Every structure is written in structure tokens, then in C-alpha cells.
Structure 1
Amino acid sequence: MDGNLMEEEGFMKIGICLEVDIIIELKGTAAATRPTKAITTLPTTQEPTTKKPAYKTATRQTTQEPSVGDIQYLVRIPDSNEYVCFNIESYPGDVYSLIHDPKRGINIVGKISVKTDYQNSKPQKRPLLREINFEYRNATIVVATSYMKVEDAVLNWQDIHWRGDQHLSLTVKNDQVRVMIGTDITLVVIRYRYPRGSSNQVYYLGFYVEVERGFSDEVHGLIGQFYSRDHRITRDKIYADKSTIKTTLIVNSRQVPVTLKHADEPGPGTKQTRQCWFAKNNGMGLIDGLYGDYLDV
């Protein structure tokens, strides 16, 4: 995977996260790492507010062991250049509510599959995003790794432009799908192959928000909650613990310890990396409630 840092702002992603070294000077202490783009500081004032998820906690009906692999949720914090990222446990067939905005009539869910990676000495299960369903009012778009479905028409991954009524349009080019809702919401899906260099590759999808200003104050979901006007994130001072860069995020009055990592983020025709504050334990504290609250059942 390419390690170049993308300068373009405004993307949010589900993808693969890699921990790599960086260089940051903290109060005269240097951590031995690779130079990268400077981080724009988040505001340090705290504005407590709590918004509970609008989803019921789901009870799993499977005995399979969950996979906690490379799938990562990468979210740009609005009005800053900082990103947060987290992973979640996944079973084959899990469907997560990514963005839910009842006021705008938008509902987006993502379906997970799991691939066993035999490249290492010990086989590892990798959860991959394989299908995304977009609902806008009465229109539906399905983007899967092998096809797309717009209303009743089935499309393949070829360059195409489609415009429906209700201010909804779709453009496909170079393994990238752009779904535009009016002029103030643009959602991007990019198709990748995993694992790189293997003769047994499968496709997976990356999900991004390119333009988010059209979401209402009721937007929620695993990703959508970060774009609610009620959502507040501030950051404490950064410090070094051996070779790890750490801090504490204040998320709607919750204190969340995080570490600095890198997550994959694509540019035109290639994948790049982005610094992000990683919250472990399935994003506990970073997201409202528990990750199971976002299962679409």
C-alpha cells in the first residue's frame, strides 16, 4: 500500500489501518518516526452534550468467533484537519448503520464479509466492507464489489453517469462511485483488491464523505454522528510514551484515551495514508453507546 500522505481534505473512510512510525517533537522529546503533515489543533474548550444512539442493541444469533482485523473507520473531525479512527468486531453478514438522517430521508448501511488471510504463518480473519446500500427518500442505490443497482437497473463497474429525480445522481469512473444528493452531500465509494500481491484477491469497498454540509441536526449512525451539530470533540495535550504518541479526546463529555496511528486513505488512482487518533475497544467512548447499537437488524 502506498505510504504517501494525501493533501486533499474532506474524506471519511472505512478501510485498512496501519500503525507506522512518525516524528513529532513534544516538549523537547522526539519520537523516532517518519515526517508527516502537521496536525491542526482541535479546540481545547469543552462543551458537554450527549446524544444517545437511535438504535436498539442487537442480540447476536451466531456462534462464530468475531473478526477484528484491518477494517477501520476513519472520520475527519469537522472544522479541523484532525481525524479519528477505530475498528469494530465483525461477523460475516453483519450490517451496520453508517449514516441515518431521518430529516433528510437518508439511510446508508454497509454489509461486512470476512476473508481468511493465509499469507502469514497464522491465518487471520479480515472483515471487509463488501456492499453499501443508499436510500434517499423513495430511491435506492446498491453498490457492491461486483455490480451496482440503481432502481431496477443492474450496472457493472464501467464509466457511467446516472441522474434520477429527487436531486439524486451517480457517477462511476476508475473504480470510484460518487453518489450526490443535491449539491450539499457527496458520498464516495472506492473499490480495492485485497490482499495486495496475492493470487487469491477479493474486492472490498472504501466509504467516504466528501461533502457533508447538507446533513441535518438529526444525522446519526456509526459515521453520521460525527457530523451532528450536537457532536463535540476537543483534545487534551499530546504526549509521548516511549515510541507511542498519545492524548485524551473529550467526546461529548466522555474522556477517551487515544494513540496516533496511520490509516489508509485513497487519492485519485492510489491509496495514501492519513494520521488519525485511534480509539481501541471497538471505539468505546468515541462513539455514542456500543458498536452493537448500530447493527441494522
Structure 2
Amino acid sequence: MSVPPRIPSRVSIDGDPHFIISVPQKEDAICFNINENPGAVLNLIKDPVTGITVNGELIGDKKANNDSKIQNTYFGRLGITNKHLNLRVMVTPEKITVQNGAEKTGFTWLDSVTLQQEGLNLIINRKKNLVLSMGGGASFVIVLHQVWKKHPLHQDFLGLYTLDSGKLSKQTHGLLGQFFQPIDFTILEIHPGSDPKKPDATMIVKNNELTVTRGWQKDYRKDPKNGIDVPCWFVHNNGAGLIDGVHTDYIVSSLF
């Protein structure tokens, strides 16, 4: 009997940065959040073989919610690098900057662009998203979320989705990158939680026993405005027990 190939997990970040790990062989998903201060830069993906690194900087709401112990944060800047090709791409809700060696090119989200350079493919879909690939590595979709300019609280932010992550090496790590390899988990003892609509359960993953909560996160790739609900098991405490190490291990000094 042949054994079916294990399908790599699909991972993404979006919203307050909610990390979603789609696990195809389980027909399910795991999600977690990272609670850090605005200005913190997190290493999302690092592949020493292809040379691709993705870091993201958090932004907060325009003013803090004094009633909440944990402030909402989102990704406001993304830095994508291929050190082997000497390529850098920085994406913000205002502009996209491509640096190829000493040459620097800038675009805005009002542009519709297809850019092909050696080792780089970049497509900007005006005011919606951009699709980026470097070398023979994975492709990334970055979604632009725009809010009403006079909104008293929220500001524009970005979402990141990975495509064909199997093109990155098995040495890939980072808050997202570690989940490019298939992950297995077991759900036991589903029982009512504090929210009647969101049951709790016990998850066995990486030899750890975690309390998780059933919930939903949004996938904005096809519907940037409203998103599509993705049911998932939410891991509490900054992904403790699911991610390797602790979340502060992934804080880096700068985007590049």
C-alpha cells in the first residue's frame, strides 16, 4: 500500500496578528496570537538555504484602549530579503520599495505593476494585494487593509500569506517558518468553555498537553474587505507549547 505524501502546512498572519496554520491532513487549523508592544520586530521566516528572510514590525491602534490589558497590534511593515540575490523588499500600507543591489525602486498601492527582474517576480494589484517571489523560493501574498482615514482608533495594516512553502528548505524557521513542515496534533476532551459558542479542548502537540479554544480567524486573500471565516483551535499564551521556545526568542532588532 502506498503512503500518501504529507502536505505542508499553509501558514499566514493577519489581523491582530493572528497566526493561522492550516493542517490539510487534519482538515483543520491551529491559530495563536503574539502579544507584543508596537514597534517590536518579529522574525517570521528564515531559511538559511534559499537565503530568504521575512520580518514584520508591529503597529498599534492610534490610541491605547485603557480598558484592555492587552492592546491590539497589527503588522505595519514587512521586510522580505534574499541575501543570496542581494534583494530587499519593504512593504508598508503606503508604499512598496524594491532594492536590488544598489538600485532602489518605489511604488505605491495606487499602482498596478508587474515587475520581473533577475530572481524577482512582483505583481501589485492596485489597492488590494501584491504577490512576490524571489529566486526559486516560495511566493508570498501581502494583503493591504485600509480603514477609514478618520477612524478614531484603527489604522491601515498588512496581512501575509504563504504559497508553495514546500519550495523552502527543511531548515526554515521563524514564527511562521517552523510550521512549513507538516505538524501533527490530537484533540481530546472537547467541553464547554467560558463562551458557549467556543468550546475548550485538550490538544496534544509536540509532546505537550495544551488547553485550546475553538474559534474563527479571517482569511482575507479572496475577500480583502470582509474575509472568510476559518475555524481553528486557538492556542493561548503566545503560542506556548506550540511554537519552539518562547515568543520573545523571535524578536529581532530591525526589518533587515
Q: Which bracket does the TM-score occupy, shorter chain normalised?
A: 0.7 to 0.9
156 and 116 in structure 1: CA distance in 2 versus 1, 3 angstrom threshold:
closer
Describe the SS at the equivalent of 1:225. Answer: helix
Deviations 1:83-132 (CA, angstroms, capped at 9, x unpaired): 111111211210000001101111100011111457x8947832110011
Q: Which has the higher strand share?
A: 2
TM-score, normalized by length of structure 1?
A: 0.70
> Which residue among 228, 231, 236 is the counterpart of 1:275?
231
Q: Flag the 1:122–1:142 CA change in 2: closer, same or farther, 3 A.
A: same
Say which of 118, 123, 130 aligns to 1:171.
123
Does residue 101 of structure 2 align to residue 149 of structure 1? no
2:206 is aligned to 252
Q: RCO greater where, 1 or 2, for CA within 8 Å and sep 6 or more?
A: 1
Within the alignment, does 1:160 sit opposite 2:159 as a pair?
Answer: no
What's the CA shift for 1:184? 5.7
For structure 1, the residue ranges without an aligned partner over 5 or more in a row are 1-9, 17-69
CA contact (8 A) 1:263 1:276 kept: yes
Q: Partners of 1:125 and 1:232 in 2: how far apart? A: 30
Structure 2: which 5+ runs fail to align? 1-8
Question: In the alignment, residue 173 of structure 1 is paired with which amino acid?
Answer: N
* Alpha-carbon distance in 2 for matches of 1:191, 1:12: 17
- CA deviations over 1:231-250 (Å, ceiling 9, x no partner): 63221335232523233333
Name the % identity.
23
- 1:46-57 maps to which residues of 2 (within 5 A)? none
The TM-score, its normalising length taken from structure 2, stands at 0.81
Aligned residue in 2 for 1:236: 187
Q: Where do residues 113-192 of structure 1 align in structure 2 (5 Å cutoff)?
A: 113-116=59-62, 122=67, 125-136=71-82, 137=84, 138-151=86-99, 152-157=104-109, 158-166=111-119, 168-174=120-126, 175-182=128-135, 185-192=138-145
Q: Deviations over 1:153-197 (max 9, x none)?
A: 11111210111212x211110420111235661111101134799
Distance (Å, rounded) in 2 between the aligned partners of 1:225 and 1:236:
21
Aligned length: 231
Distance change >3 Å, CA 13–CA 161, structure 1 → 2: same
Question: Does the 8 A contact of 2:186 with 2:204 survive in 1?
Answer: yes
* Aligned-pair Cα RMSD in Å: 2.5
Once the two structures are superposed, residues 188-232 of structure 1 have per-residue CA deviations (whole angstroms, 9 ceiling, x without a partner) of 11011347993665210011112211011101000110113xx63
CA distance in 2, matches of 1:282, 1:11: 19
